[in-house]
Structure 1
Amino acid sequence: MSVQVTLVAAARSSDLFDERFDEDRPLDRIGWHEIQLVAHSLVPLAAADLRYCSPTPRSRATGDALGYAPMAQPALRDCDMGRWRGFTFAEVAAREPAAVDAWLADPRAAPHGGEPLLAFISRVGGWLDTRPAQDIMAIVAVAEPAVVRAAVVYALNAPPRTYWYLDVRPLSTVTLTGAPGRWNLRLDAGAP
């Protein structure tokens, strides 16, 4: 018994340099344009047995635009960034450099008052491990790039610091196949 989970990173809702922690902005003009450019390769994923998304406006809109009609999953929400929510990394680093250093160095640290990285990775991994495992059941989930990164770290049983070295581009995909505690990773072509 195994399951195939394809994670699709949500289209963008802001310029890369204006991305904010735990943001919930809707898709921007560029995000909609990027969906149109890659839809032909992502629309077939709508045939999945189950279709999910992070509970953010951009994840929902990405899934809807691709014809997935996804069901929001609270476990796929972005990392709770506490008082840093809504700020850019640069803004937080300028105001709280020591706190940012602690957060980047220790996966158990939560100087922002939100969710530690280790808890975030475990939450996303817990969602993966509770997917129904039948003979190659196909699941697609549109999620925030941070959620995709956490899923990859969990699936590979990689050290939490690996999270910081993964770059997940909007509308890129990754497929995990397996069962709880035993996942294989397949990297797929991403958006231009």
Structure 2
Amino acid sequence: MQKLKMHTIDTAPQESRSLLQSSIDNFGWIPFQSAYMAESPNLLASYQFAHDSFSNSSLNEDERAIVWITTGKINRCEYTVQAHLWIALKKGVSPEILKTLIENPNDLTGKYSALYNFTHHVVLAQGQIANEAVTEVLKAGFNLQNVLDVILGVSQKTMSTLLNSIAQTKIESQFQLKETK
């Protein structure tokens, strides 16, 4: 199989260059995932748009972290898990919540448990979300906008986990957090 190239601003297709600059502006560097995505300006633009949209969704920081990390775990993408642990900690998500999510998500309680279970269901749904799954997350105190925003977050992370599986993206040192493992 032909390998994807890890692009820089200088090697990326012209349409990806401003998108990579946006990554530098946001992170201080070009994350490896974005460097690979740059091969397709449309994928990188769609991913960044979905990321920005989900970051401004009806879910709070803790809830977004649960969606992102759960999707990464289920899709067996260590890059996604580590990157979003780093982001979650930077955004003030409790290390205890993150540790529970990583080590034993069945110990999550209340709304977090319901959100984890619903996200898990969405990731595995193959396009068909059961009415019962929606009912359960609504009973936990979420609303229909939250439900749709979970779909947005899972969709965004599915783009990246698929890309990372093809690229075999290594985790850069910035995202390697020992204390949450």
TM-score w.r.t. the length of structure 2 is 0.30
Choose between structure 1 and 2: higher helix proportion: 2
The structure, 1 or 2, with the larger RCO (C-alpha pairs under 8 Å, 6+ apart) is 1
TM-score by length of 1: 0.29
Give the structure with the larger strand fraction: 1
